Structure 1
Amino acid sequence: MNFLKDLSLQSTFMGLLVAFVGFASSFVVVLQGIRAVGASEEQAATALMILSIAMGLCAIVLSLYSKLPISVAWSTPGAALLASTSTVPGGFSVAAGSFILCAILFVIAGLWKPLGKAVNKIPGALANAMLAGILLGLCLAPVKAIAEKPLFGLCILLTWIIAGRINKLLAVPAALMALILIMIFGVDFTAASKTELFSNIVPSFTMVYPEFSLAGLIGITIPLFIVTMASQNVPGIAVLKIHDYTPSSGPLIAFTGVFSGISALFGGHAVNLAAITAAMCASEDAHPDPTKRYWSAVISGVGYIVFGLLSGLVTTFAVIAPSILIAAVAGLALISAFSNAALAAFNDPDSREASAVTFLITASGVTFFGISGAFWGLLAGGLILYITHVFSLKKK
């Protein structure tokens, strides 16, 4: 129990802030994604709860074991991918089966180096173009909210802008608070809505019996795996290295894959290493002594577990609230990720055309043979990049 001596008030505060920012800034995206692939309200509430508890437990175990500030999160880009995907044939059971296969890929990628190297060989420009295409539709939601509900939409947007100028990390939580205030003072709750809101604070466990299909493997598993690895796990490792920590990346990714598999049994899509909140836990703000910063990740894990146990209340609130306003908050939460992905996608002139094709096909939202546009976009962009490379070699 000597590690308790490393606990400090500063690390505790940072851990609680990380949990609040990590949960509040993206739970609406997760709910939208899980519902989009066929989950009922009960299944969505259970998935949100298990995901939050899983990433909390994963952060606690990894951080205490390694004494490194290992921040864990759910895959927000992966949830955005799901939100842009229509329900696959077979419904949510096939989606859950696809999540399990994705978790298995995480474990293999962590333990079997050839797969990890293969993922790293996917051109970063194309991976970012796919992510930007996935996020585009969601990032348009704030504009649509202003068009549909001008007063409420503008209040949320202005709150996000002003809070972001003060502290970027508080921008999305502030927008969420604006939505809550709008719901309290601007929307009339019926007696039935109030009863429903407070009677479902803790959701019941709803198991999902997974089914497996080729369409689910290609349309959900592979894009979810690539997006999560490229935009969450790899940057998460990089953030730790920037702060002079040297974790063994393979076992960490494999361990998150185990927790992803557990959450998939209840409809959760993916648990992974965090990037943004990892920077918070690993910074000097968490503790002056780098060897004691791991407690910030541990406390954040405790916070995630608490939020997970209250996910029934959160999910019911999301059902009662106007869907366009929920989508607006989700869109604001993803603008930063969209801008970063778009910049990385189109930065290199040599791959710009291929990235544009990947981006446009992914953003179109079309499906062929039940397989989402994200896969086809990546495939088309890769083909153009390959042909361009072949012709350039012939010219030489």
Structure 2
Amino acid sequence: MKNVHLQSESFFSNWTIQGLVNGFIAWLFGVTGPLLIVLNSAEIGGLSDSITTSWIFAIYVVGGLSTIGLSVYYKQPIAVAFSIPGAVLVGTTLLNHSFTDVLGAYVITSILLLLIAVTKSTSLFMNAIPLPIMMAMVSGVLLPFGLNIFMSVLEVPLINGATLIVFLLLTFYKALGRFIPPILGAIVVAFILLSIERPIKVESNSFALSTPEWFLPTFNISTISELTIPLLVTVIAIQNAQGITILNSIGYKSPVNALTTWSGLGSLVNSFFGGHSACIAGPMTGIIADKTSGPLHHRYKSAIVMGLLWVLFGLFAGFVMGIVREIPISLIQLLAGLALLMVLKNCIAASFSSKFQIGALFSFMITLSDFTLFNIGSPFWGLVFGTCLSFVFEKEDFKKEKLITEEKKSLTS
């Protein structure tokens, strides 16, 4: 009974305001920019509104439930979402392939993810890439969010400028920031000014539950060969790699193979409702895992907030989308950038403060370059070329890393 009481007390304590805010920001980021990519791909593919609604229902409800379940079970802030590069790939694939054939490629991708998890190949891949090179890739992914802070101010000087100033003032005056977290103050000011300039018309949106549809995939070799490998790479080497790296750098020991397994299972469920691959979301994990979310062993509660909001968004996708579309994307980019500032700082520091600096530099630059090859995005190639160049020019670092690994194994055995 004592253990039960302690677990109950642990769950209901340490729910910080900043942690709740971080969960909200992660949700807000996930239902704006990434959602627009999904909507754009659906439009390119000529999908009907009912199919698009089912797609959105799947990726948010399955992602939200997975986020809550995994975060509570592992006591880690694990944000399960959908592959953003994958959504882009799907849009281009739908131009030349039928929707049900694309769903068949989703199913094959899911099965391959599960096979990789069962054979524990994910860990082998993750261990083959030095941490600084991995962190440099994450830095390259996150840096545009930081740059968007200033671009958004140029785009909408009044609202976004005032929001940034409030954030900086609350950050500088730490005594005041303890009572009003900087990002919360920024959100309040932003939405007050936004409501004055352009009030959101809620009555124009119909408040009703979304209705998902069940689809039977068909299997086409051409579609599978075009889409499966790129989707697989985006899930493991781009999306999951970002989230896992962020969690490990903070101090968690992320369950790598379990996350790959659940990515496969989530992807499989998504495919029958029209949704594409599930994965661990790097930027959103960075937001909810930030130190402002509370003590290390309580930050998973920010993930619960995000997961609950995602489930609600999926259930009422038609209603909420109408509201979200009225929020300027520049404001969302600003808030996401501010929420990720400290994560970006820590990632850059971890990338260039120790070994593998040449590999990290190339990983960082290639990721930023938007270099694409074989329909695979720049984060993956940043890892590949960064590791290869490091292996050529920094062999001593690999030898030192190997010695450290062997020492750790000998101490634990």
TM-score, normalization by structure 2 = 0.68
Pairwise CA distance, 1:150: 1.0
- Identify the residue that residue 406 of structure 2 maps to in structure 1: none
Q: CA 1:295 to 1:337, structure 2 compared with 1: closer, same or farther past 3 Å?
A: closer
Structure 1 residue 374 corresponds to structure 2 residue 379: yes
Q: CA 1:207 to 1:140, structure 2 compared with 1: closer, same or farther past 3 Å?
A: farther
Distance 1:187 1:225 in 2: 41
The structure 2 residue matched to 1:143, chosen from 150, 175, 180, is 150
Q: CA 1:200 to 1:132, structure 2 compared with 1: closer, same or farther past 3 Å?
A: farther
The structure 2 residue matched to 1:53, chosen from 31, 55, 61, is 61
1:79-136 residue CA offsets vs partner (Å, 9 max, x unmatched):
4x67998964436969977776665555344432233222222222222222222222
Pairwise CA distance, 1:27: 3.1
Q: How many equivalent residue pairs?
A: 374
Matched to 1:39, the amino acid is: S
- Identify the residue that residue 289 of structure 1 maps to in structure 2: none
Matched to 1:351, the amino acid is: F
**Residues 353-362 or 268-277, more deviating:** 268-277
- Identify the residue that residue 75 of structure 2 maps to in structure 1: 69
The structure 1 residue matched to 2:141, chosen from 134, 137, 149, is 134
- Identify the residue that residue 90 of structure 1 maps to in structure 2: 94
Structure 1 residue 157 corresponds to structure 2 residue 158: no
Structure 1 residue 231 corresponds to structure 2 residue 237: no
Q: Which runs of 5+ in 2 are unaligned?
A: 44-48, 399-413
Q: CA 1:56 to 1:19, structure 2 compared with 1: closer, same or farther past 3 Å?
A: farther
- Identify the residue that residue 262 of structure 2 maps to in structure 1: 255
CA RMSD of aligned residues (A): 4.7
**Residues 332-341 or 37-46, more deviating:** 37-46
The residue correspondences of 1:215-364 to structure 2 (distance < 5 A) are 216-217=227-228, 219-233=230-244, 236=247, 250-251=257-258, 253-263=260-270, 265-267=273-275, 269-272=277-280, 277=288, 283=295, 302=308, 304-348=310-354, 350-364=355-369
Matched to 1:25, the amino acid is: A
Equivalent residue of 2:135, what SS? helix
The residue correspondences of 1:26-45 to structure 2 (distance < 5 A) are 26-29=27-30, 31-36=32-37, 38-40=40-42
Q: Which runs of 5+ in 1 are unaligned?
A: 287-292
Distance 2:330 2:319 in 1: 19
1:40-59 residue CA offsets vs partner (Å, 9 max, x unmatched):
48677655554443244335
The answer to whether the 8 A contact 1:130-1:377 is kept is yes
TM-score, normalization by structure 1 = 0.71
- Identify the residue that residue 197 of structure 2 maps to in structure 1: 186
The answer to whether the 8 A contact 1:35-1:44 is kept is no
**Residues 169-178 or 276-285, more deviating:** 276-285
Q: CA 1:385 to 1:62, structure 2 compared with 1: closer, same or farther past 3 Å?
A: closer
Pairwise CA distance, 1:272: 3.7
Distance 2:224 2:178 in 1: 45
Q: Percent identity?
A: 20
Distance 2:106 2:317 in 1: 20
1:175-206 residue CA offsets vs partner (Å, 9 max, x unmatched):
444333232112255xxx5443x325644436
Distance 1:135 1:284 in 2: 22
Distance 2:340 2:289 in 1: 17
